[in-house]
Amino acid sequence: MATADAKTQTNGTLFKCDAPDAKQVFLAGTFNKWDSRATPMEKSSDGSWHAHLDLPPGCYEFKFIVDGCWCCEPGVDEQAVPNCVCNEFGTMNRVIEIPQI
């Protein structure tokens, strides 16, 4: 099963998407005005994709675009993904809170 995650670290926020068979993965969200091409993710040798962003404190919504398909987590029903909110399209967006340090 594929997994996806976003973690706040001392040096920024790491977004991770486990999609080993994907050809391209992008990250879109409120931090880049939902631009589906603005934030390409890099593939690691283990098949996971990563993007590291330096985001100011706040609450952000995001999705992964895996080979052109928008998702909260590849291969998983959006209703089953934690930390999601409904959007105006009737689907779900992931949410991450960047704390004030």
Tens digit of each residue's pLDDT (9 = 90 or more) over 55-70: 999 999 999 999 999 9
Contact between 39 and 71 under an 8 Å Cβ cutoff? The reply is no
Nearest residue to 66 (alpha-carbon basis) of 83, 51, 79, 84: 51
Give the integer Cα–Cα distance in Å for 10 and 91.
31
Cα–Cα distance for residue pair 23/60, rounded to 1 Å:
26
Residue segments in the chain with a per-residue pLDDT below the cut of 70: 1-10
Nearest to 99 by CA among 60, 52, 48: 60
CATH 3.40.710.10 fits 4-98, yes or no: no
What pLDDT is stored for residue 9 in this prediction?
61
